Amino acid sequence: MAGQAVLVAAAAAAAALALALTVLPMAVHGLVLTVLTGSMDPAIPPGSVVVDRPVRPELIRVGDVVTFHSGRSPGGGEQLVTHRVVAVQHTASSLTFTTKGDANRVDDPGRRAASDVRGLVWFHLPQIGLWRQRLLSRAGAMVVGGLALGVWGARTLAWALRPGGDTERDSGDGPGRAVRDRRGLPLHGAVDWDGGA
């Protein structure tokens, strides 16, 4: 019973985490990102998952933490950076932001155009990003699949070996008689089958 309660609690925690990292961001058209560096430490430590939600650029204020486009990554994808806004420059023709990582000594080079902002940090979950990255990898998928198969196998074996699982009495005639041990008790799931002859 205690083991079952632990499994239910773990399943509930996994469901809540999945909700926080998939359904909520999708509902607000947000982003889920893993923080890879310590530039926002200690507010957002490396290995955290950051969940962003869209924001109209004119609503961004000094002190907000935003995610913005910062060129291309070495792999060719979009490079995104999550840093704090330290200045807002608003002119008649443009809106730009100066950003800085909390742990960095100097501001990020250049200004960020409003069109580069991908979202405002809604919330973050420390250390979850490391696990997320591992689970999203090919090896992680294999481990999760193996664990699921192992749990299924263990539950099936425990069910098959449970005491008192086979209460059918041996009628003594015809195929399908229950096989009995030396004490005369039926063996779980074992049937003496003569092929119907």
Same domain for 51 and 138, yes or no, is no
At residue 58 the predicted structure's pLDDT band, cuts being 50, 70 and 90, is very high
Q: Is residue 189 part of a domain?
A: no
Residue range(s) defining the domain that contains residue 75: 29-126
Task: Indicate whether 115 belongs to any domain.
Answer: yes
Same domain, 35 and 121: yes
- How many structural domains are present in the chain? 2
Same domain, 102 and 83: yes
Residue 58 in 3-state DSSP? helix
In a domain, 18, yes or no: no
DSSP string, 91-155: -SS-EEEEEE-TT-SSPPSS-EEGGGEEEEEEEEETTHHHHHHHHHSHHHHHHHHHHHHHHHHHH
Residues 117 and 133 reside in one and the same domain: no
Q: Any idea what the CATH number is for the domain that residue 44 is in? A: 2.10.109.10
pLDDT given at position 170: 46
For residue 9 the two structure tokens come to: 């609690």
94 domain-assigned: yes
Q: Is 84 helix (H, G, I), strand (E, B) or coil?
A: strand
Q: Are 156 and 76 members of one domain?
A: no
Q: What's the confidence (pLDDT) of residue 130?
A: 76
In the predicted structure, residue 94 carries a pLDDT above the cut 90: yes
**Residue range 111-133: average pLDDT?**
89
3-state DSSP helix/strand/coil percent for the chain, to nearest 5? 30, 30, 40
Task: Report if pTM > 0.95.
Answer: no
Q: What is the pLDDT of residue 169?
A: 47
